[in-house]
Each structure stands twice: as C-alpha cells, then as structure tokens.
A and B are shown apart, each in its own frame.
Chain A
C-alpha cells in the first residue's frame, strides 16, 4: 500500500482542478474537514454565484471541494477552469456574512435513544452530554446525502463518537444525530448509523415552501437550544 505522505506529496498543489465527464469541474482545496479549507470553498462558491459565466449551470459546495457544472455546448473544462482560477484570486471578498439559526432540541429519553450509550462510553452523565452538545460551536459545512441533510461540524471532543457498526432503520425525521465532529438534524425517515441524542421540531426542510424551503445556507452557524417535551409538542413555532 502506498503511503499517504507520498500520495499527498505528488499532488500537493491546491486548488486542484479535476474534469468531471463533459460537464463539470471539481475544485479541491484539501483532503480534510478543516475550517480554513472550507472558507476557501465558501469564497469560491460566493464568487461563482456572484459572477456566473456563460454556460454556468450549478455550483455545489462540499467540505473541501466545490463542483461547478456547465453546459458543454456553450463552454468547456479549460475555459471554466480559467474563469475559476481568476475568480479564486480575489474570491473571499464575496463571502456572505453567516447567519445564525436557533435549532430547538428536546433531549427527553424516548427522543434520545442513544443518549445513555454516549453517556456510558464517554463517562459523562446524560446531563453533561446534553450540555456539551449545547455548548458546541456549529457551522453548516455542506448539504448531502438527501434533501435538507445539512452536515454541521462542531461537536465538542468530549462527546465525539465514531459512527455505529451498522445502521438502524426507520429513524424519524427531526432526529438530532452525531458522529465524530459532525451533527445533523434529519429531514426524512431513514436508516442511520449515527448516534441519536435528541429530536427537534425545527424544520430544516419545509416541504410546503417554494420560496425558502431550506433553513440554512452553507456557511451559516447553528445554535442548539434545549426545549421541554411540552415545547416540542407545541411544534416548530418558538
């Protein structure tokens, strides 16, 4: 097996531009989840949205990379790469100031089936796990997997757990999940291998809205707020 250092050394130049089929360029700024790397993703994302080029179709930010797709009838990889490289030179001036969103969470036992397990492995009491989760500084790194699945990073080290060996099925939407430094509030009933530590009535995905269907933009901050069962049952409106 090749060493990782060798692999990195031979391809160390970031940003790295990779052609994707006939219609996209993937721009990679790094290979790890890192706030500075992500800041570069956000900066180029904002610049491309602000100055769309002829043939531009869509830009998709991720943890450390950005996918820019285009109409191959209008332009090609080389032209798009040149535009992106140019935009990248002064990109960070266009980054939007992040909004902060409050996401309300009920941590009652029946809504947090894994709270006890996280407590047992970390040696913290369930109450301390909840407080640690509430104290985290969360940022929206990307959406992925399924509609409205916003990947937040910022889970405090004390309660970080690797994902479970196997996924558990039928986890209801609104579940507050953690794995490693990541946290996610699910929007569909789906299987998950992450740890379920609460449930939120805050709609990250609003099916009925066409004007603002998604609560967060990538780059936004999130503050979790503890609510009682009564408040949870009262629904989304604070």
Chain B
C-alpha cells in the first residue's frame, strides 16, 4: 500500500484536521465542529474522486507550507481565493494537482476568503474522537491542529492524473454580505426598534473571529427587558447578544448552550458563504420567515447537490 509523507514547514493558527463533523453530541456539550465552509470542503474531496466526507486540512489565513518527503499523491485545494505555490507553479485555490517527493506546497491568503481545504487522494491519518477526526478548537480533541515540523501521513495515496486541473468555484462558496436570518428564538428581550436595527443597519466583522464565532461591530442591540433566562441551546448561526449589546454569530465550534439571548439565527445555508468574509468586511441581515428559510434551504441544497454531482 502506497504511503506519502508530508512535513509541516510553516503553519499559521487555526489550521486543523476536519471531516464532516460529529453531529448528535450537542446534548453532551459537544458541537458538531467540521469545516467552517462545508461546501468547499466537499468540493475538494469530490474533485479528486473521494467520498465527500473524508478528512482534509482546513487552512486559515495563517497559511500552510508542506514539504513532500516521500511518496506522491494527488491533492485538491478548494475554498476562498488563496494563493497556491507548488513546485514551479503559482496559481490560486480551486485546483487539483499532484505532489511528489522533494516538492513544496505553499498555501497563503490571496484576494478573498478566510478558509481553504486541502484534500488528498488517499486517507489522511489522524486521531478520531467520537467517530470523527474533526478538531474541536477549544479542547483540541479530534484530528488536531497542525504544528510545525509535524509529519502528515497519507495512506493508500494515489496519483489520479486524470483529475488534475481547475475546480469550478460555485456561487455558494463565494463570500456573501447579505445574510438571510430568522427572528428569534429569544427576540422577546428586544423591542421593535432594536429588531429593526438588526435588519437594517450595516455590521462589520471584527478580528474576534475564530472557529467558535465572529463578533460584529455596529449599532448596539440593547436588551429591553432585564436578562433572566436559564441557558438555552445554541445552533451554528445563532446571533447572540452580549450584555453590552454586541452581536456575535456563532460558528462551527460554538458553545452548545448560553445564557445570552439569541435575537435571530442566520440560516445554515448561508453560513458557508458568510465565513469566507474577512474581518472588516460589511454584512447586513435580511429577515425572512421560517417558511421562507425552509424554501431557501431546499433550493440551496438542490443547487449544491447538482454542483457536487457535476464535479464527481
């Protein structure tokens, strides 16, 4: 069985192993984790002929440099507008190529996007927790964060030359600055004017952005009633308002419950595009009804399904 070994020469913060995540453990305090941008992650796997769920490396704007020390393997990079340098070639993400012993792969941020995915034609060896290699940032459980000098082993590594070339970047993986959101579930703590502000004002992503969530800057969303609620469950996409009126959108590694009210919830189908916005990018929230949200989820799921099927 063919094995390929890559050694980490440089790695930024928040670069970790992710697979589809570990849903169904929220009742034990464990969020699903998994890729921040699930569509790009699936695209990377499918573009090299993998099942959509195999472990890959999520690369943040901190970037990643790998040296191939033995073997050879076809890889895909999908997500964001990153810069990819490999051997003598320099281009962007959304590419399938093959890496051989002695070659270096450099991934660094380009014009847009916060996250890109590096998948291999083979199996990336990584520890699992609760059946998933997804890394939970807070605990480090799962496949883990990449560290300088660490070796990555790809077992069953294959060269799939017929897969090499560009991957089309779908609309759903491009950054979106208008997000659809459903009011609530704890909107009762806010008056009509505050809710109107959320759905009309412009907000900006701040640097307080990691896999747990992103804090926004913009008009304060103050509570109209004294805060007294026991902690309630949180979902990926919850817009939580802290005591000082500052909104945070919770993401893949969110805490599972919280005592701050969630004024609205970004629809899940918009989150892959949302996380490709960068700090200081602007965002607005468009209010839709739960019925419209379901319609939107269905049409987005259908578009994504067709896109991924065409890649395979």
Contacts and interface: CB of A to CB of B under 8 A. Distances in A.
A20 B296 CA distance: 14
B13 to A, nearest CB: 19
B187 to A, nearest CB: 8
Contact of B268 (A23, A32, A61, A142): A23
Give the most central of A28, A144, A214: most B CB within 10 Å: A144
Nearest to B292: A22
B224 interface: yes
A7 interface: yes
Interface of A: 1-2, 4, 7, 11, 18-24, 26, 28, 31-33, 57-67, 69, 72-73, 76-77, 142-151, 188, 190, 207, 210, 213-214, 218
21 contacts: A1-B224, A1-B225, A7-B188, A18-B185, A19-B293, A22-B182, A22-B268, A23-B268, A28-B185, A31-B229, A63-B230, A72-B294, A76-B290, A142-B257, A143-B257, A144-B255, A144-B256, A145-B29, A147-B25, A147-B138, A207-B141
Given A11-B188, A64-B232, 7 more contacts: A20-B182, A23-B268, A26-B233, A65-B233, A67-B233, A77-B290, A151-B231
Contacts of B291: 76-77
Interface of B: 23-30, 129-131, 136, 138-139, 141, 181-182, 184-185, 188, 191, 224-226, 228-233, 235, 237-238, 255-258, 265-269, 290-291, 293-294, 296-298, 301
Contacts of A142: 231, 257
A144 B257 contact: yes
Contacts of A32: 228, 230
B266 to A, nearest CB: 7
Contacts of A22: 182, 267-269, 290, 293-294, 296-297
A21 B238 CA distance: 8
Contacts of A144: 29, 231, 233, 255-258
B255 A145 contact: yes
B251 to A, nearest CB: 13
Contacts of A214: 28
B237 A21 contact: yes
B26 to A, nearest CB: 4
Contacts of A23: 235, 268, 297
Contacts of B229: 31
A57 B24 contact: yes
Most B CB atoms within 10 A — which of A7, A18, A24, A57?
A: A18
A207 B136 CA distance: 13
Contacts of B298: 72-73
A62 B257 contact: yes
Contact of A31 (B25, B230, B258): B230
A71 to B, nearest CB: 9
B188 A57 contact: no
A146 B225 CA distance: 28
A147 B27 CA distance: 9
B293 A145 contact: no
B23 A57 contact: yes
Contact of B228 (A2, A24, A31, A149): A31
B29 A147 contact: yes
B24 A58 contact: yes
A120 B279 CA distance: 47
Contact of B257 (A4, A18, A77, A145): A145
B130 A210 contact: yes
Q: Which of B131, B188, B237, B266 has the most CB of A within 10 A?
A: B188
A143 B182 contact: no
Contact of B27 (A26, A190, A207, A218): A218
